[in-house]
Amino acid sequence: MNSDGQDEQRLVWTVVATDIGPLLLAATRDGLVNVVFHASEAVRDQALARLGPRLGIEPVEARDSPLLAEAIRQLAAYFAGKLRDFALPLDWSLITGFNRQVLRELASAVPYGAVVGYGDLAGRVGQPGAAQAVGVAMGSNPLPLVVPCHRVIESDGGIGGFGGGLETKRKLLALEGVLPEPLF
């Protein structure tokens, strides 16, 4: 608590090993705020250098933080094929407006094992014809995997883009049974 008796805002982070490589997880007292793919030391440092100033809080490494424990547990269960729906508190403070609306719709309405087209998702939020803007929202998703932007594909069935790389998207879609497992 600070001198006014209020809980101080905290920003804790850790890197966890997963089947798709290391993930940086960051959380505030409001919930998981950021997930970053391919969290090598350089990627981690760059992400934290951006995150702290955006939230106005100095990030603190805290693998054993209760703020991160449930996210770590649920991610492990997801990759083990034992969890289909993340049930985590999320801190949406890094995203606003249309992008937030699209990501909330994605998180609540596109379940494990399903996909949706960019244009279809635009229509679901009342903006038919805004498929490209949905693509921008997916690219700016601060909570990939947990807010499943890997489930958004092109209207012709193409895999589309992905901030974590197309191979990562393919692996996630295969894990969820949308695509066959790679042969090699």
Which residues form the catalytic set? 149
Please say whether the beta carbons of 125 and 105 come within 8 A.
yes
Burial environment of residue 93 by CB neighbours within 10 A (0 to 12, 13 to 18, 19 or more) = middle
CA distance 104 to 121: 11
CA distance 83 to 111: 12
- Identify the CA nearest to 11 among candidates 69, 52, 71, 64: 52
Please say whether the beta carbons of 118 and 131 come within 8 A.
yes
CA distance 157 to 166: 14
CA distance 153 to 77: 25
Per the listing, tokens 């490589």 go with 21
